[in-house]
Structure 1
């Protein structure tokens, strides 16, 4: 999928699992470790969050807005976060971005302010009804496969004009070049199989 393919009415939907730092004080996670929905209203220096628990209760929490806030990381790049749920303190957040480079910048920006961020799903959406054309569900991958694939995407390994080598990525992960190559091949095969299974189904 080239960046040129994501243009006009086409955008990328990116789903990320985000773990905040323990002392962040973010009301998204301080109100409940499990949430079926999250509504955030950050105005000025105060953030008000309504968290809907899985049993339907709505809990309101407040927090102080700072440069290290999760919402600020999105707004600095001009993207609106859509908080979908919270499970065991991990936030699933969706954003709609312009291209793969935007995904890379967003992940790097988030890593500056959160404890951990993982790419869960990437989809191309098209048209006024935002119909998903191609979806990559990363949940079928092992943690090692996901980490390897995520690093390769973020560092631009799959870009046409890439300037990163497989050996550089392997060094960053602390594994051999051949081990990383195998992980990437296996991960890509799983994703392609999943996409075509979805098309046939």
Structure 2
């Protein structure tokens, strides 16, 4: 059973990693080298679910492959490319190097969002789907450890799901929508930034040198610092224009 590192009091912001069967977003991101952001999802009158998704990746070829995989999936009814980013802040830098907006129609029984909401987990921002895993940021009204795990176990059992709590933070210390901002990073920027965090690069005193990080990442020191600079800029200022970012 997954448990968080520490217990907070009051409202909490949780980061969840989720896998569950028969989910088209998980299957297509596992097969194709691109990722998804679930922007807006709603139940249509015909009983199906319609969702607005941003596809992002390192190249248009990667995005083409994901769109094709989604269209051919047994779990989708229709996949339509959108010309405009409805409901998305145009001033925000797109995640990755290339993006595309999709409207996807699928069946509600293959989603886990209703189960999370009914158990008191309120979605905080867009859901990132990458490499066959969903990354959720959710609020809970209380963070009692026993009740939290009981509710998560109910969802695990009912949906045959794998759910891991990777972080719990109080609402006041969550830093706004920083988890949502992480989705603005390209794949490589996220990899380098997370590598730096794992090795306490941002600790004081610093636990690793930039040369050591660069060697582990397999890049030059200059390239590593460029990745970190752009990642830090996006995380600190989500409105920054990195549309021409080639990393």
TM normalised by structure 1 equals 0.51
1:50 is matched with 52
Q: Can you list the C-alpha shifts for 1:137-165, whole angstroms capped at 9, x where unaligned?
A: xxxxxxxxxxxxxxxxxxxxxxxxxxxxx
Count of residue pairs the alignment pairs up: 129
Q: Distance in 2 between matches of 1:27 and 1:118?
A: 20
1:6 is matched with 9
After superposition, where does 1:141-160 map in structure 2 within 5 Å? none
Q: Distance in 1 between matches of 2:12 and 2:204?
A: 19
Mapped contact 1:27–1:62 kept (Cα < 8 A)? no
Output the aligned Cα RMSD: 3.2
Q: Distance in 2 between matches of 1:108 and 1:199?
A: 38
Q: Distance in 1 between matches of 2:37 and 2:13?
A: 18
Bigger relative contact order (CA 8 A; separation at least 6):
2
Q: Can you list the C-alpha shifts for 1:20-61, whole angstroms capped at 9, x where unaligned?
A: 21xx2x343356554252124232622112221222111221
| Alignment counterpart, residue 75 of structure 1, candidates 112, 117, 120 | 117
TM normalised by structure 2 equals 0.43
After superposition, where does 1:28-67 map in structure 2 within 5 Å? 28-29=25-26, 32-33=29-30, 34-43=34-43, 45-54=47-56, 55-66=98-109
Cα pair distance change 1:87/1:36, threshold 3 Å: same
1:138 is matched with none
After superposition, where does 1:29-178 map in structure 2 within 5 Å? 29=26, 32-33=29-30, 34-43=34-43, 45-54=47-56, 55-66=98-109, 69-81=111-123, 82-97=125-140, 98-99=142-143, 100-112=145-157, 113-126=159-172, 131=175
Q: Can you list the C-alpha shifts for 1:105-144, whole angstroms capped at 9, x where unaligned?
A: 34213312143112222212228xx547xxxxxxxxxxxx
